[in-house]
Amino acid sequence: MTRGLNRAVATALTLAALAAPARAADVYRWIDGATVVYSDQRPPEGVILTSMPGRPALPVVTAPDAPPAEAAIPTPSEAEVVVSTRPATVDEIFELSGMRPQLPSIARALGAEYLPRPGQLGERDTVLVAQIVGRQFAPARLYAVIRDDFRRRVDQQQLDAIAVWFRSPLGRRITALEIAAANPDAAPRIAAFAAGLKTSPAPAPRLDLVQRLDWVTGTSQETTDLALAIAGSVARAAAAVTPAERRARAGLVERRIEEMRGQMAVVIAENVLAQMFYVYAPLSDAELRQYVDFLASPPGRSYGRIAHSALLRVVREVADRTAFEVLRAVPPQRWAATQRTAGPSTPR
């Protein structure tokens, strides 16, 4: 994920960690005056949920029934890979790392958090929100910002050093595994695999490698940052469109957003480890150790730090713009009023 499962996979699975966590915890969201409340507890009776969670639980299976992680994942062999020696480019790095190919699905996953649940808004408002989200989360627009940010912060020597790994047969094989895991169709298999780990834990050496991978990359923390970027954008926008006399005190919204970090962190950390076990299951311990060593090296750390910073910055900016534009076009009262007229709906 962010640096281990590369940044593209991390973003795609950020929402999965909240929508379908391994331990099936739900996160509820509702408006309370000038603030947006997030909680793992259901809201008080009569409160209108504004969107998010409560998705149907994915099937739970025992370890013997869990589908093999390596099934149907085409990966290049050493004989099929021709390693280039030409100077590396940012576009090549993002292509080989999987960032560019996965950006459309990432954009859809992130933008989906702003869409109303079925029956929550009228048809006209639903189309309006979808248009705003589609415009703000346009993949080409996101990619241009991330690429330009990355390009400004790396020199040719760094690019060439990073390319050595991503051009290698093992680097390409790992990227193929990460891209396969980011496919929405993989979500049930990941959940099933995670459930199997509860009855058949991973061997200690493998656990140590995966924990080192998370530690070297900071994936759990970074995934939480991305989730908070989406959640925080809604809270800030809701406060901004609230009448001045009912608006929360300065700093209160940001403090409440930061309080959410602790609530999300535990669930996300569990999911990150489970997802890592699934994604890298086809690798031997020696191969996974090579990946960890690359990520801990100066080129690996340089790529991870700069790419994560660029990704998080653009997600925060786009998230805030999207939330403000959506709530200006369709104020919170209209979401709640439509839901009252239509009656209670089933949480997704």
The C-alpha atoms of residue 113 and residue 109 are separated, in whole angstroms, by 7
Instruction: Name the residue ranges covered by the structural domains of the chain.
Output: 7-54+88-336
Averaged pLDDT for residues 46-60: 43
Q: What DSSP string runs through 264-292? A: HHHHHHHHHHHHHHHHTTTS-HHHHHHHH
At 92, phi and psi to the nearest 5?
-65, -45
Query: Residue 32's beta-bridge partner residues?
Result: 35
Burial class (CB in 10 A: 0-12, 13-18, 19+), 88: buried
What mean pLDDT comes out for the span 38-55?
54
**Cβ atoms within 10 A of the Cβ of 240, count?**
15
Q: Which amino acid is at 206?
A: R
pLDDT at 81: 47
274-291 confidence digits (pLDDT tens): 889 999 999 999 999 999
Average the pLDDT over each of 55-64, 249-258, 331-340 and give the range with the smallest value: 55-64
Within its chain, how far is the Cα of 121 from the centroid? 26
